[in-house]
Amino acid sequence: MADATHAGHAHHFDDALQQRDASTLGMWIFLVTEVMFFGGLFTAYVAYRALYPDAFAHASHHLDVTLGTFNTAVLITSSLTMALAVWSAETGRRGMLLLTLLLTAALGAVFLVVKGFEYAEKFSHHLVPGPSFHWPEAAEAPHVQLFYSLYFAMTGLHALHMVIGLGILTWLVLGARRGRFGPAYATPVQVSGLYWHFVDIVWIFLFPLLYLIGRH
Amino acid sequence: MEPERRVDYLNVDYGVRSWLLTTDHKRIAILYLVSITIMFVIGGLSAVAIRLELLTPAGDVFQADTYNKLFTMHGVMMIFFFLIPSIPAVLGNFLLPLMIGARDLAFPRLNLLSWYIFVVAGLLTLYAMITGGVDTGWTFYTPYSTAAATTKVIPVAVGVFINGFSSILTGLNFIVTIHTMRAPGLTWFRLPLFVWTHYATSIIMVLGTPVIAITVALLGLERGFHIGIFDPALGGDPVLFQHLFWFYSHPAVYIMILPSMGVISELVTCFARKKLYGYTVVAGASFGIAFLGFLVWGHHMFTSSQSVLSGMIFSFLSMAVAIPSAVKVFNWTATLYRGSIAWSAPMLYALGFIGLFTIGGLTGIMLASIGLDIHVHDTYFVVAHFHYIMVGGAIMGYLGGLHFWWPKMTGRMYPETLARIAGLIVFLGFNLTFFPQFVLGYLGMPRRYHAYPEEFQVLNVLSTAGASVLGVGYLLPLLYLTWSLRYGARAPANPWGAAGLEWQTTSPPPTENFATTPIVTRDAYDYHEAAAPVSEVLVRG
């Protein structure tokens, strides 16, 4: 978000500190808009879960908890490597910065690949909403389909944010290779870190809501 | 003596690229001004078509389907592409950095991006409107919009979705700018109310717009891929759509009216030559409106399946919005009291705003009471009410502000007498258009029909006649403001003797706004020491 292309500050700011404050506040406000964006989906989920608890619980049993747990661990680890990347930038450890950024991106990619396998499995079991959707018990089929509509909308939107995050990480890696970031100019790494942690936190809510609740 | 040619933000470069790639908030404001004027004309022409059809009881000018598309076009264009961006994106963009003594907004490139997003969204929506149109109304209610309508719902929904990000980025930019870019000495309680109201508006933009974005996204998914969220046939619930839609679309009304209130505070103080009565309370009232605005959406759903208890809570909270709104009206009135009032054109708009907003607000209280609302639900009473807020309120404020800051934005004066006459024409035409609609609605004429029983004709003819007068009132500023760009007298830095920081720099301002960063030593609206020139806002190197 910052306008600077070097360690100084853009012309309309008085100094680098003002620019850093602006960028950080800007990212926090952006994350607030993201909370509201996902909030609409969570509201829909909560409303329908309360209306059709049994159908949602049955539908939830067909999600793969093992893969979901694995992916949760992958994402939490990626948050750790991202935090290390921010620390490396702030303390001027260039090699460490490059390494942790690459690790974060790799973990993000692993998450997406696993998610892709999960989606494929849903396709083969006719659990994707639409004409091919099939559920043995006709009475609760519409509400199970509702669950899967929300499942794909929520995890799909989350995956889209992961893809954008990978794009940002790539951009950071390119910058880190040229040695752009250091103690004097760590803002891009810091605000990207905020974004990455936010995307993780969304998953921390999605995982129990979709996979765990109703599983006894 | 020929004055030396001074470089300002307009004459610094005349190339097309210098406009399309600009990151100067003042130039982006001009880009927005041109774009939203085009949208206003399109929305206005569809209103003309609507009033033409309603001149006679029989549906004789347009077919019912065409009429549905016309009022949808009117609503979508005016709300999403004119009213919501109007004051923030044009006046706010131009003035916010000037008013706080900054060189630009915090994120200039993001600002330009938001204009491009607006243009892409506008073109997409226009394309859909021209190649087939939409007949759902601007509210896109499900399941009609997802299962039944055969018109171009998805392109328009995508247009509205994209446009939301323009609004979000503008709000984000404003909040960060107000927090981090204020000039030395410009403490929070020295800020002009224009800045305060834009802060409150930005909060609504940032918190509300993402919700409408996800809502229309789900609507698009349901329509395009049969993912059931709202359609009962697919397991969903259409009332959820209404909840999500109005969670944004009611606060959106405050996105339209709050910036206008900020303009009025500037105009009233300047042309009454007085400090604003109860500055802190008026500033706080903006946040009261923004906060309560998020808790009242259910008053659009009194006739849905919403429970009686939630209906009563929403009714009570909706009435509570009257409190901060009335605080503002009373404080403007108290500011006028014993003021040294100048009847300049911007002031006429401000006074018009206060009267019309009061009528719109009071009828809002009527509509907030469930019993009465169920009687007039979906009638012209509602149409009249929200036009008193959006046209009598928001557009009056926009026009008043546009006149007030025109000399600053363009470096030219507009013809004052003509502007006063135009202001009066707008006021008269507006009332003639919309007051009869209160009566029509109360008598039971429903909205969104192209034909009506004969006993309603007299009032409808009055309304259509008023619309013609109003049209003239809008055409005049379009003509003389354009004329003034070339033939208007050169504007001095501060033609009104106004106290704001934006008047301390030249008209039009240089690209960097201020030669040196101003240091503020006084409160806003310090008109009391009449002898003291406004330049006491010290400018130091």
pLDDT at B142 over 80: yes
B446 forms bridges with which residues in the sheet? B379
Residues B363-385 pLDDT 10s: 999 999 999 999 999 999 999 99
- The reply to whether A29 touches chain B by the CB within 8 Å rule is yes
- The reply to whether B372 touches chain A by the CB within 8 Å rule is no
A185 forms bridges with which residues in the sheet? A182
Q: Do residue B102 and residue A12 have CB atoms under 8 angstroms apart?
A: yes
> What's the CA gap between B450 and B461, in Å, rounded?
14
Instruction: Tell me the pLDDT of chain A averaged across its residues.
Output: 93
**Chain B hits for A1, Cβ within 8 Å:** 107, 110
Average pLDDT of span B441-446:
96
- The reply to whether A26 touches chain B by the CB within 8 Å rule is yes
**Chain A hits for B168, Cβ within 8 Å:** 33
How deeply is A15 buried, as exposed, middle or buried, from its count of CB atoms within 10 A (0-12, 13-18, 19+)? exposed
Tell which phi-psi region holds residue B454, choosing left (phi > 0), alpha (psi between -120 and 50) or beta: alpha
- The reply to whether B98 touches chain A by the CB within 8 Å rule is no
pLDDT at B452 over 80: yes
**Chain B hits for A127, Cβ within 8 Å:** none
CB B42 within 8 A of CB B70: no
User: Mind listing the domains of chain A with CATH numbers?
Assistant: 26-212 (1.20.120.80)
**Chain B hits for A146, Cβ within 8 Å:** 228-229, 234-236
Q: Do residue B244 and residue A44 have CB atoms under 8 angstroms apart?
A: yes
pLDDT score, position A216: 61
Q: Do residue A22 and residue B181 have CB atoms under 8 angstroms apart?
A: yes
What is the band of A153 on the pLDDT scale with cuts at 50, 70, 90? very high
pLDDT score, position B6: 85
pLDDT score, position B529: 54
Return the DSSP state at B359: H
How many percent of chain B have pLDDT more than 90?
90
Among B210, B530, B23, which residue's Cα sits nearest to residue A11? B23
What is the band of B32 on the pLDDT scale with cuts at 50, 70, 90? very high
CB B403 within 8 A of CB B91: no
Q: Which residue type occupies B141?
A: Y
- The reply to whether B517 touches chain A by the CB within 8 Å rule is yes
**Chain A hits for B213, Cβ within 8 Å:** 37
Name the one residue in this structure whose structure tokens are 């800045």: B195
- CA angle (B503 as vertex; B501, B509 as ends), nearest 5: 105
Among B486, B478, B445, B475, which residue's Cα sits nearest to residue B463? B445
For chain A, positions 34-93, list CB contacts with chain B under 8 A: 34, 36-41, 43-44, 47-48, 51
pLDDT score, position A56: 93
- The reply to whether B28 touches chain A by the CB within 8 Å rule is no
For chain A, positions 157-186, list CB contacts with chain B under 8 A: none
Average pLDDT of span B178-197:
96
CA distance B73 to chain A (A): 26
Return the DSSP state at A182: B
Residues B396-408 pLDDT 10s: 999 999 999 999 9
Residues B334-361 pLDDT 10s: 999 999 999 999 999 999 999 999 999 9
Average pLDDT of span A52-68:
93
Neighbours of B226 (CB within 10 A): 18
B412 forms bridges with which residues in the sheet? B490
> What's the CA gap between A122 and A129, in Å, rounded?
10
CA distance B229 to chain A (A): 6
Interface test with B, best of A21, A29, A58, A145 (most B CBs within 10 A): A29
pLDDT at A214 over 90: no
Measure CB to CB from residue B240 to each of A36, A47, A131 and give the nearest one.
A47
- For the residues of B478-502, what is the DSSP string, one character each? HHHHHHHHHHSPBP-S-TT---SGG
Residues B455-496 pLDDT 10s: 999 999 999 999 999 999 999 999 999 999 999 999 999 999
Residues B487-513 pLDDT 10s: 999 999 999 999 999 999 999 999 999
Q: Do residue A12 and residue B103 have CB atoms under 8 angstroms apart?
A: yes
Query: Which chain B residue has the Cα nearest residue A157?
Result: B214
> What's the CA gap between A140 and B457, in Å, rounded?
52
CA distance B418 to chain A (A): 39
Name the one residue in this structure whose structure tokens are 């998020």: B294
pLDDT at B528 over 80: no
User: What global pTM score does this model have?
Assistant: 0.94
pLDDT at B535 over 50: no
Average pLDDT of span B173-202:
97
**Chain A hits for B177, Cβ within 8 Å:** 22
pLDDT at B541 over 70: no
- The reply to whether A27 touches chain B by the CB within 8 Å rule is no
Measure CB to CB from residue A33 to each of B102, B110, B210 and give the nearest one.
B210
Among A107, A97, A120, A92, which residue's Cα sits nearest to residue A174? A97
What is the band of B533 on the pLDDT scale with cuts at 50, 70, 90? very low
Q: Do residue A1 and residue B180 have CB atoms under 8 angstroms apart?
A: no
pLDDT score, position B537: 38
Q: Do residue A12 and residue B108 have CB atoms under 8 angstroms apart?
A: yes
Interface test with B, best of A18, A52, A122, A149 (most B CBs within 10 A): A149
Query: Which chain B residue has the Cα nearest residue A141?
Result: B235
pLDDT score, position B386: 97
CA distance B152 to chain A (A): 21
For chain B, positions 397-456, list CB contacts with chain A under 8 A: none
Q: Radius of gyration (Cα) for chain B, nearest Å?
A: 23
pLDDT score, position B285: 97
Average pLDDT of span A93-117:
97
Measure CB to CB from residue B180 to each of A3, A18, A146 and give the nearest one.
A18
Average pLDDT of span B192-202:
98
Interface test with B, best of A19, A36, A54, A137 (most B CBs within 10 A): A36
Q: Do residue B240 and residue A44 have CB atoms under 8 angstroms apart?
A: yes
Question: Which stretch of A2-16, B111-125, B127-141 has the lowest confidence by average pLDDT?
Answer: A2-16
Looking at per-residue pLDDT, the higher value among B321 and A213 belongs to B321
pLDDT score, position B268: 97
Query: Which chain B residue has the Cα nearest residue A130?
Result: B226
Average pLDDT of span B210-238:
90
Measure CB to CB from residue B109 to each of A3, A36, A130 and give the nearest one.
A3
Q: Do residue A146 and residue B208 have CB atoms under 8 angstroms apart?
A: no
Query: Which chain B residue has the Cα nearest residue A14?
Result: B181
Q: Radius of gyration (Cα) for chain A, nearest Å?
A: 20
Neighbours of B1 (CB within 10 A): 3
Q: Helices in B294-391 by DSSP H: which ranges?
A: 308-320, 322-336, 345-368, 370-376, 380-389
Average pLDDT of span B35-42:
97
- The reply to whether A33 touches chain B by the CB within 8 Å rule is yes
Among B220, B223, B258, B257, which residue's Cα sits nearest to residue B394? B257
CATH number attached to the domain at B22-536: 1.20.210.10
pLDDT at B2 over 80: no
Q: Which residue type occupies A56?
A: F
Return the DSSP state at B5: P
CA distance A146 to chain B (A): 6
Residues B307-339 pLDDT 10s: 999 999 999 999 999 999 999 999 999 999 999
Average pLDDT of span B409-427:
97
**Chain A hits for B233, Cβ within 8 Å:** 142
Question: Which stretch of A104-113, B105-114, B224-233 has the lowest confidence by average pLDDT?
Answer: B224-233
Q: Helices in B54-130 by DSSP H: which ranges?
A: 64-76, 84-85, 93-99, 108-130
> What's the CA gap between A9 and B103, in Å, rounded?
13
pLDDT at B539 over 90: no
**Chain A hits for B219, Cβ within 8 Å:** none
How many percent of chain B have pLDDT more than 70?
97
What the block records as the tokens of A193 is 């870190």
Q: Do residue B218 and residue A11 have CB atoms under 8 angstroms apart?
A: no
CB B221 within 8 A of CB A153: yes
